[in-house]
Amino acid sequence: MRGMIPVAALATALLVPVAQAGEDPRQPIELEAPQRAAVLGEMRQFVEAIDTILDATLAEDMERVARAAKPMGMAAVRRTPEPVRQALPGGFMQMGRGTHQAFEAIARDAEALGDPRHTLEQLSRATSSCVACHRSYRIVTAD
């Protein structure tokens, strides 16, 4: 159960819109329920990978960092079903591609450099991209 509270807090901050006065200014992305489930599922996988990367980095277990980051790299893009990719706007896809590339680099550099500080710097930049995307877009279910 280690890390569950921080992961839950991060997931809540990233995935649940903050109640604000007025309308949500983020661009809605309208998806069918299965497409929405696929996108949100991948986001949860990112949060789980981030949790593992942080824990492994603190333990200076760079092999585990690489194992956690690698599946969230560009291979994840190739696993995304074509109908889901086609339903997502270009800006969302561009941000997502950058995030996947960042996780690919985290895995590669963890293996090649073995430098925990470098990994933390990379992860900080990657999560900034996550925050920017969540500030820009919201996923809604098509009626």
Number of domains into which the chain is organized? 1
Is 7 within the bounds of a domain? no
pTM of the complete model? 0.82
Answer yes or no: is 2 within a domain: no
Residue 38, in any domain of the structure: yes
Write the CATH number for 64: 1.20.120.10
Rounded CA-CA distance 140/23 in Å is 14
In a domain, 22, yes or no: no
Domain of 113, in residue numbers: 27-141
Torsion angle of alpha carbons 50, 55, 58, 63, nearest 10°? -80
**Residue 19 in domain:** no
The alpha carbon of residue 5 and the mean position of all alpha carbons in its chain are separated, in whole angstroms, by: 18
Q: Is residue 51 part of a domain?
A: yes
Rg (CA), the chain: 16
Residue type, 105: A
Q: How many residues does the chain have?
A: 143
Q: Is residue 12 part of a domain?
A: no
Per-residue pLDDT of the chain (143 residues; tens, 9 = 90+): 455 455 544 554 555 455 456 799 999 999 999 999 999 999 999 999 999 999 999 999 999 999 999 999 999 999 999 999 999 999 999 999 999 999 999 999 999 999 999 999 999 999 999 999 999 999 999 87
**Residue 14 belongs to a domain:** no
Q: How far apart are CA 65 and CA 15, in angstroms?
A: 24
Return the beta strands (E) in 10-129 as ranges: 27-31
- Helices (H) then strands (E): counts for the chain: 7, 2
The predicted pLDDT at position 21 comes to 61
